[in-house]
Structure 1
């Protein structure tokens, strides 16, 4: 008897449903989110034919959590079904629009019964890649948190402290620069910045790590802080300075988290056998390479062709066609983390690879806008990465961006 299993995941409990090949409900159970609940699930599966040789496939609406991790570790095929797809399948089975946790578990089981070949099971990545994925995603989240903290601080400083914004307007890192954060820590208001002595300011930027042109930078900052600026009332300015110190503490914590997680991610990534191939690509440093590996994994059966990988990353266009209407646009449903890393990769490759730069210029000349040309470059290099990882060979500029073959000369008349 062919049995499929559906699990409706909830925070503290899970509803389990098993259906056979004729869509009959043959088993149901509510389990807790603990070791005892997992053992109850294994017993239910075993009662209906589950074995190491023929494990029952399982559908669930998430790819994360202890339950999913334990199911994958036991060798079972686990399918993470998008909740939007589950909602469409639910309408297929009932027109009353009723909903319950048990009913959703039955719908998930029926999805595998009827359309298992249309869904991809979770990849069989090695534990090293899973650990890299945890750190790489946490580091990427920390970068986004740092950006949000920076933007909040900058928005607040615009209300009362234009001098600090002017002082670091030409710096690439703006308020993320160590010198800016060091000065804000000792002078969170314009009044305190104007009263800074040369020795105190010099000591602050030295503490921040500056090693060159310290005296010139100190004089420049003193000149900026001692200009005439618009000011808030003194009491209000002091209160806003206290708020700045609180926002600065959040920014410092985010910066520290970024640095710590980046170091741990790079250390783990360099232990993986794919690291050498990935970092051989122009524009892929150790950290961005770790993010790429974290999202594509090392299960080479996951993406049969480069086209599958491109669709997953969102770099391949999608066509919408109906009657005489036909429109080609970029994909909105994609792995957003991989797509974000791809933009950084393509941009960095412009200066690291002459072939990538020529390809980008060609796309721009043919009418692509900036982001479209970058996305097309990422699409091409992603296909090259798929080939190199499959064939176990490093990137070769001469092969990746080989000049087009010239057409044979026509025979003389």
Structure 2
């Protein structure tokens, strides 16, 4: 970075104070981006997909090199700077929330992947376990499978050992569930040769160990997410939104950022969120389609919020029902509701006011009444 400053200083010469340095870079985070912004440069984040499309304008041979990529970025910044998005000036606290929120969500995704691997293994050599256990990543399931990873060992589990595991997992109706589990684990099923079963049991124990650690770290990171999110000044406004709690609210804040000047309008925020539709028009044909290029973490959080809001907001429920009555599928109606909720969140953040059910849905109520 010091060498870059020196090179730019030599190029600017005596007019360094009057020169504006514009930087195009294919990322919007990291120490390099932070250092460039701190140095006073205007940093434009270029999506790698945009750079690839722009590269095709300069040549169709498919050749690629670091020097060629640098030339493409420089040319984009020189000719299309007005159409590129500057790096957002998010606060350090927002960046910290993004780090812990993304780590928490990544661990959840990893737990899902390992749970599916466990399910696949059990289906191949111990299908009775899939009948006995509903949640393969639950604490009591992992404990019992760790003690008895093979069908023969599971069949020898006593009511006392099963009940103890259920009790440690804070289950209800322990006696009834223990008896049902024991009966299910002793059900006859097609099995594998003994040596193959032993190999599967060893692999399952390894998966169980990973899932146990993931469960522990997810709980630890959840506390970190709540602690960091609770310090942010916008937390109260975000938590007032229907369907948003501590963890989900932290994810929404992390992915949107807290730069007050980043989104010029509610439409800009909706476009960034990926909830607003795109239009394809050619001749007399015009269609509206869902956006498939979006921030996966953000759209996941917003659709989850919309689903939860159906139970907590009468206005959100009525809006969803109207979309369904018009012929929209569940996913399309949920996406439209999420789009509306993003607009409401934008208005609340801009005005610094908490969510109000009547104000948020009064416009749609009036239209329906008319």
Question: 1:407 & 1:331 partners in 2: Cα distance?
Answer: 31
Larger RCO, structures 1/2 (Cα 8 Å, 6+ apart): 2
Question: 1:160 & 1:98 partners in 2: Cα distance?
Answer: 50
Deviations for 1:217-242, whole angstroms, at most 9, x for unmatched residues? 21221121222222222222122111
* Map of 2:222 onto structure 1: 262
Change (3 A) 1:131 1:153: same
User: Greater shift after overlay, 53-62 or 283-292?
Assistant: 53-62
Matches within 5 A, 1:333-348: 333-348=293-308
Q: State the superposition RMSD in angstroms.
A: 1.9
Structure 1 residue 405 displacement after superposition: 5.3
Matches within 5 A, 1:159-174: 159-169=124-134, 174=135
1:148 aligned to 2:113?
yes
* Map of 1:100 onto structure 2: 65
Deviations for 1:359-401, whole angstroms, at most 9, x for unmatched residues? 1111001010010000000000100000000000000001111
* Map of 1:126 onto structure 2: 91
- Aligned pair partner of 2:238 in 270, 278, 288: 278
Structure 1 residue 53 displacement after superposition: 7.2
Question: 1:142 & 1:75 partners in 2: Cα distance?
Answer: 36
The 4+ residue runs of structure 1 with deviation greater than 6 A are none
Question: 2:369 & 2:116 partners in 1: Cα distance?
Answer: 54
Question: 1:405 & 1:192 partners in 2: Cα distance?
Answer: 65
Matches within 5 A, 1:2-401: 38-49=1-12, 55-94=20-59, 98-169=63-134, 174-207=135-168, 209-210=169-170, 212-401=172-361
Structure 1 residue 75 displacement after superposition: 3.3
Question: 2:290 & 2:40 partners in 1: Cα distance?
Answer: 36
Question: Secondary structure at the residue paired with 1:159?
Answer: helix
Question: 2:342 & 2:326 partners in 1: Cα distance?
Answer: 21
TM superposition score normalised by structure 1: 0.84
Change (3 A) 1:89 1:224: closer
Structure 1 residue 103 displacement after superposition: 2.5
Question: 1:346 & 1:287 partners in 2: Cα distance?
Answer: 15
Deviations for 1:171-212, whole angstroms, at most 9, x for unmatched residues? xxx1121111111111111111100122222222223x2253
Question: 1:103 & 1:363 partners in 2: Cα distance?
Answer: 48
- Which segments of 5 or more consecutive residues in structure 1 lack a partner in the other structure? 1-37, 409-413
Structure 1 residue 77 displacement after superposition: 2.2
TM superposition score normalised by structure 2: 0.94
Contact 1:182–1:205 (Cα < 8 Å) also in 2: no
Structure 1 residue 55 displacement after superposition: 4.3
Change (3 A) 1:406 1:178: closer
Change (3 A) 1:232 1:373: same
Question: 1:359 & 1:204 partners in 2: Cα distance?
Answer: 45
* Map of 1:21 onto structure 2: none
Question: 1:71 & 1:61 partners in 2: Cα distance?
Answer: 13
Contact 1:126–1:298 (Cα < 8 Å) also in 2: yes
